[in-house]
Amino acid sequence: MIYKGSKGNISLFYNGKLISNYPLTKKKKVKDYLYQGDYVIKNSKGIPILVQIDAYKKFCDLMYYRKNNNLPIYRSDHKLFLGSLMALLRLKIIDNDDNNGYFIMTI
């Protein structure tokens, strides 16, 4: 389902598949969603960066698997996917391109 806010939406893709979508409003701007990657990384102090990267990748792969097999994806999982994907983008493990990343549609 595509959620559209008063200012548009942001769609999150992984391996060429739309996984999550969030509305953009006056209160929730693009920068708020992009910041989630920084937030996850900052709050993972003490965990080696390679372990973090592996965990982010595995979670994104799991979400991709669930989406491909029409398995339920809970709201909390969508929030974790947002943080994981943005952290991978922030760490430059994946690029914001045609297959991975986000797409912003404004009104």
Note down the domain range covering 97.
8-106
Would residue 3 count as lying in a domain?
Answer: no
pTM to 2 decimals?
0.91
Would residue 35 count as lying in a domain?
Answer: yes
Would residue 101 count as lying in a domain?
Answer: yes
Residue 29 has pLDDT above 80, yes or no: yes
Would residue 74 count as lying in a domain?
Answer: yes
Cα angle vertex 3, ends 25, 35, to 5°?
55
Structural domain count, the chain:
1
Cα angle vertex 35, ends 5, 3, to 5°?
20
- Band of residue 1 on the pLDDT scale cut at 50, 70, 90: low
Would residue 1 count as lying in a domain?
Answer: no
pLDDT tens digit sequence for 43-101: 998 999 999 999 999 999 999 999 999 999 999 999 999 999 999 999 999 999 989 99
In eight-state DSSP terms, residue 47 is S
